[in-house]
A and B are shown apart, each in its own frame.
Chain A
């Protein structure tokens, strides 16, 4: 009997040891950034897009500077006179989700913009279907709108790029105007595609900031929410390239924005050695990351977060060396304003590239003052200060 048990224990133990040994010594599982030899091979890296976005960062946008949500960069304008018609229009909006604070803030701003456009008689109503982060649901939503929505215009914020392309093409085939914003699709059939400069620009801004404040050989821990979403993957693809060129020792983790995982990873990384920088592909979790350094009793790192209020406040309170990259939240209202322009027959940019400027430390105080009383999940550059309901609606943060 005892011998049987011993044999079983030995088997389990040996299997576990082999599995673990395999994990730690197999060269194929070493993260590519550890090898540190440029050029980086990341399937999401696209040199042409990288170069385009690199250049767009330096372009002064056209349009009124007091209304960044109406500005555009390097635009090629398209004629929309074929859609010009009077009367209030019904808008159908296929939304990917409102499952993160960035999308929630934009959703609130969009609804306040909707109220103004309804009051002015441009829009009669907006029917929204929320796909809850599911491709299949969103395809069904779009097809429902096409078949029975009685829509005058389709707004689509795609859940993913490739999967949504055929559904967007079906919407275009109705002959009614289609507007896509945030994440892209692989077709140019929509009247306009509205988005900030993009993920590569985010990656360049953040990586350059960290490289400027660190030295070659310093350790940067990169926190990523999830794989496979183009705007997020491009942020890391650009940053990873720049880190490896500058000799920064960067290691990335997927956390699903779970603050528990973020804290555990940082405490393990701190036990291994000094961590000089924290890079995040979204600000959700930046506060937990800084708290992990507090709990361990070590110096704060250089950190890039996002323009989320919780991070800006923590930045101010701790005085860390920080940068808040911005993925312009005001694009949510731009989308409805584009509807108004299209039915008025005004020309709009084919690709409407909105400005995307990070918040540097010298602007921190002014953005904190402007957004006083806003909840932690609010985004400083939400661009809705002139809308009805400001600031109470954003402070209450009740989802419409």
Chain B
């Protein structure tokens, strides 16, 4: 009995690897093995922890971008928000450790505000999120340029930087446990929890088919706005980690929106929304960073890297499009939120006011952001 269930779970894990949602794990595994072959010291627990520490900001940004993309939108402002938060930390904290906590609070509020603006303009004013967040990206970059003149000012106090740079030392086996790895674990757990709750299902429903989601009683504007707020908060956390890991520079965060979207796509999340798994998005970030580490170990000139990144995006999108079409032919999507649920019969399904109403059961879930 026991043996059978172990065999079953093994075969299920094997099947997951070859399914589209699991392909990214297979890719990650191949890359990690390849790196280890080129450089066996990479597999030492201490080195792996260092690797997780450096992927953590990218993975966290990818998790935030996942929520936006799965709801059918884009967030292009993440990279410049990371930069803005890095500069805010450097300028407002300076060498004064006592300011760390208030400034951290301010950064979180600022991040949430940016997400709120992105979300409200997208949903209430009905401007495509591509344009809204592109505009936000420029506005933030311009603001930083105005504030700093475009150059680094100075690193914040070392105590604040410990979040991204430090960790618990002398841990058995792994030797060093970075704070950023712990933070990533917490955020990933929270993201999985969000995805499993009705909020996560509404998010996928909205991305899959807005009209259907409305008929099912989802408050579309709030669900999408929440996704933007989550995305901006994740960029804020990434900024805190990066300012610790590397220090203040206006180039920190440059291109992060692109890296995050790449990671999410690599994780099999469909651009345009409606299908995806947050764990795979995080794994996409790991695979992307592992790829760059592999390129470093293999001695590939930095001039070729962007071309390789672009090539991978094309391959990944082509792949997910192929499997998506195949699934459609088979029948309803497995992540479709309508399964097993019935619309609230008290609501008139054609009323446009529906988008602002929802069954009582869902309201509390959406409020937990």
Taking Cβ atoms with an 8 Å cutoff, the residues of A that contact B are: 1-2, 4-6, 8-9, 11-13, 15-17, 19-20, 23-24, 29-31, 34, 97-101, 103-104, 227, 251, 253-254, 256-260, 262-265, 267-269, 271-272, 284-285, 287-288, 291, 295-296, 310, 375-377, 397, 399
B298 / chain A contacts, CB cutoff of 8 Å? 20, 23-24
B296 at the interface (CB under 8 A from A): yes
Report yes or no: A99 in contact with B153, Cβ–Cβ below 8 A: no
B311 at the interface (CB under 8 A from A): yes
B34 / chain A contacts, CB cutoff of 8 Å? 20
Taking Cβ atoms with an 8 Å cutoff, the residues of B that contact A are: 18-20, 23, 26-27, 30, 34, 39, 41-42, 47, 50, 54, 149-155, 165, 242, 245-247, 249-252, 254, 292-304, 308, 311-312, 315-316, 319, 322-323, 326, 330
A375 / chain B contacts, CB cutoff of 8 Å? 153-154
A264 / chain B contacts, CB cutoff of 8 Å? 54, 292-293, 296
* Distance in angstroms between the alpha carbons of A296 and B175 in the assembled complex: 12
Can you give 20 A-B contacts (C-beta < 8 A)? A4-B326, A8-B20, A8-B322, A8-B323, A16-B312, A16-B315, A19-B308, A24-B299, A97-B150, A98-B150, A99-B250, A101-B152, A253-B302, A260-B242, A272-B39, A272-B297, A285-B249, A295-B50, A376-B152, A397-B153
* Distance in angstroms between the alpha carbons of A20 and B293 in the assembled complex: 12
Report yes or no: B26 in contact with A99, Cβ–Cβ below 8 A: no
B319 / chain A contacts, CB cutoff of 8 Å? 8-9, 11-12
Given contacts A19-B308, A23-B308, contact A254 B251 (CB under 8 A): no
* Distance in angstroms between the alpha carbons of A1 and B327 in the assembled complex: 8
From A16, A23, A258, contact of B254 by CB (8 A): A258
Report yes or no: A98 in contact with B151, Cβ–Cβ below 8 A: yes
B254 / chain A contacts, CB cutoff of 8 Å? 256, 258
The secondary structure that dominates the A interface is: helix
* Distance in angstroms between the alpha carbons of A104 and B149 in the assembled complex: 8
Report yes or no: B296 in contact with A265, Cβ–Cβ below 8 A: yes
Report yes or no: B245 in contact with A263, Cβ–Cβ below 8 A: yes
Tell me the smallest distance from the CB of A175 to a CB of chain B, in Å.
Answer: 34
Most chain B C-beta atoms within 10 Å of own C-beta, residue among A8, A11, A397 = A8
- Nearest CB to that of B39 among chain A residues? A271
- Nearest CB to that of A309 among chain B residues? B154
- Nearest CB to that of B47 among chain A residues? A271
A97 / chain B contacts, CB cutoff of 8 Å? 150
- Nearest CB to that of B178 among chain A residues? A295
- Nearest CB to that of A24 among chain B residues? B298
Given contacts A30-B299, A257-B251, A288-B246, contact A99 B19 (CB under 8 A): no
B41 / chain A contacts, CB cutoff of 8 Å? 271
Tell me the smallest distance from the CB of B10 to a CB of chain A, in Å.
Answer: 17
* Distance in angstroms between the alpha carbons of A263 and B149 in the assembled complex: 24
Report yes or no: A13 in contact with B246, Cβ–Cβ below 8 A: no
* Distance in angstroms between the alpha carbons of A272 and B42 in the assembled complex: 9
Report yes or no: B247 in contact with A259, Cβ–Cβ below 8 A: yes
11 further A-B contacts with Cβ under 8 Å, apart from A9-B319, A16-B312, A251-B299, are A11-B319, A15-B315, A20-B298, A98-B151, A227-B303, A262-B246, A263-B246, A269-B296, A272-B297, A287-B155, A377-B154
Report yes or no: A9 in contact with B152, Cβ–Cβ below 8 A: no
Report yes or no: A12 in contact with B316, Cβ–Cβ below 8 A: yes
* Distance in angstroms between the alpha carbons of A265 and B292 in the assembled complex: 10
A269 / chain B contacts, CB cutoff of 8 Å? 296
